[in-house]
Amino acid sequence: MNNRHRKILQAVFEEPTKANIAWSDIEALLVAAGCKIIEGSGSRIKIESGGHVAFFHRPHPQKEALRYQVKDARKLLENLEIRP
């Protein structure tokens, strides 16, 4: 993970949950953490790593992740034992 990924990781774990994190940054963080992204139909994606699986819808038309998406990404990172 590089410094940019660490900053995004810090932002994902901040309380109260931020709603201004670009979804592409969260995806880049998850890939850097060793996750595999599998494209589904439409905006649906499946993220796998270490036996953990999570499903997301990419936000559209906006680029920022919604609060519940940030919380779900945080939960996946915690399950993978990745914390700031």
Q: Which two tokens stand for residue 43?
A: 């905006």
CB 53 within 8 Å of CB 47: yes
Give the pLDDT band (50/70/90) at residue 7. Answer: very high
CA distance 57 to 71: 13
CA distance 52 to 69: 16
CA distance 82 to 62: 27
* Model pLDDT for residues 42-72, shown as the tens digit of each residue: 999 999 998 999 999 999 899 999 999 999 9
CA distance 60 to 72: 17
